[in-house]
């Protein structure tokens, strides 16, 4: 049995290569958990309906705990390989990418 078969993917999982475009100051919840709010920018080319399409987007994102602390130390413009899930933004206005894992990438 493969690892993928042993641990099926969630119905809400996002993998994204993006650039760290903005970071709010690191903040803490009342319970003391670190929170990093940020904006990520993505640009790529994708095939859709047999045609090449240029895709660009800016996405609100958030990380908690150790991930938040690590992200707060990165320079703006750092390229990241991100994994996480989407959730409704505060008061249901839009979506937020909740980063569960990330790694800086070169190039």
pLDDT digits (tens, 9 = 90+) for 36-73: 999 999 999 999 999 999 999 999 999 999 999 999 99
Q: What pLDDT score was predicted for residue 107? A: 59
Give me the pLDDT at residue 33, please. Answer: 97
Q: Determine the pLDDT at residue 14.
A: 94
25-28's contacts with Cβ under 8 Å and 24+ in sequence apart are 26/68, 26/69, 26/72
Q: What is the mean pLDDT of residues 28-35?
A: 97
Report the predicted TM-score, pTM, of the whole model to 2 decimal places: 0.85
């Amino acid at each position: 049995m493969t690892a993928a078969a042993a641990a099926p993917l969630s119905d809400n999982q996002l993998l994204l290569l993006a650039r760290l475009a903005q970071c709010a100051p690191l903040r803490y919840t009342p319970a003391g958990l670190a929170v990093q709010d940020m904006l990520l920018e993505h640009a790529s080319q994708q095939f859709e309906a047999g045609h090449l399409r240029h895709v660009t987007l800016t996405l609100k994102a958030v990380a908690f705990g150790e991930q938040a602390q690590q992200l707060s130390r990165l320079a703006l413009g750092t390229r990241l390989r991100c994994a996480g899930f989407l959730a409704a933004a505060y008061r249901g206005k839009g979506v937020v990418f909740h980063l569960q894992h990330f790694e800086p990438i070169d190039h």
